[in-house]
Amino acid sequence: MHLQDNAPCICERQGSCSNAEGGQRMFTTGASLVGLAASMFILAMVSRNGAAEPVSHAITLLQKGTTSERRHAIEVLAQIGDQRAAPALAQALRDNDALVRETAEQALWSVWHRSGKLDVDARLHDGLMAMQRGAFEEAVAIFTEVIEMAPDFAEGYNKRATTYYLMQEYEKSIRDCDKTIALNSVHFGALSGAGLCYLGLRNLPKALDYFERAIAVNPNMQQIQGYVEEIKKFLRDQST
């Protein structure tokens, strides 16, 4: 899933609860003009230098380049959307530069939203539009079609999981989250999404497990880290 807030509350013994306000945040791509120009410069440079292909060169820059080169390399990888870049982008979530970390997260979503098949990607987009306008049953049907078209495309399951979560069909959402994770073990969106579902089911130990797994992949998820700390405190209080 890819939700910002919209999580159920964690109720304390006194009856109060901590409930994050907000709603769904859909990922949108789009580099700034400066970033786009820099990315195109790297692509042109790669071509002039006779590199085998830009993905490998950009991955090398991301892993070994200067801060500026790493930032621009991520823009290139996000635009290309090649799945081969995913491991390097996941590693970049721990980069010492904050902008590299932030852009790496966005680039991963860009990569994950591409199946390699135009018709599948088009239907995924149709499902996102249906979900955004609140047509959840329609969105589920479309994402199910995406899954049938590309059963190994993790994002089809993840987006259906998001829709089920919004419908408060938590068990169905968890099943799709687990399928997403089986296909893409570093999908921090599905890991945190399953945690949100377990919060909805008031299963705090399971929620904590998934949240901690999400943070292990992407330590930049401050809201999820907040849930981890809150759940741990609640469980400690319950044991005393």
Is pLDDT above 60 for 158?
Answer: yes
The reported pLDDT for the residue numbered 102 is 95
The reported pLDDT for the residue numbered 121 is 96
- For the chain, domain boundaries: 33-112, 114-168, 185-240
Question: CA-CA distance, 83 to 108, in Å (whole number)?
Answer: 9
The reported pLDDT for the residue numbered 2 is 63
Instruction: Identify the CATH assignment for 33-112 out of 3.90.25.10, 1.25.10.10, 3.40.50.2030, 3.40.50.2300.
Output: 1.25.10.10
Question: CA-CA distance, 216 to 43, in Å (whole number)?
Answer: 32
Owner of token pair 């292990």: 216
Query: Angle 85-77-60 (CA atoms, 0-180°, nearest 5)?
Result: 65
Is pLDDT above 50 for 32?
Answer: no
Banded pLDDT at 3 (limits 50, 70, 90): low
Task: Return the CATH number of the domain spanning residue range 114-168.
Answer: 1.25.40
- Domain 33-112 shares a fold with domain 114-168: no
Is pLDDT above 80 for 208?
Answer: yes
Mean pLDDT estimate for the chain = 84
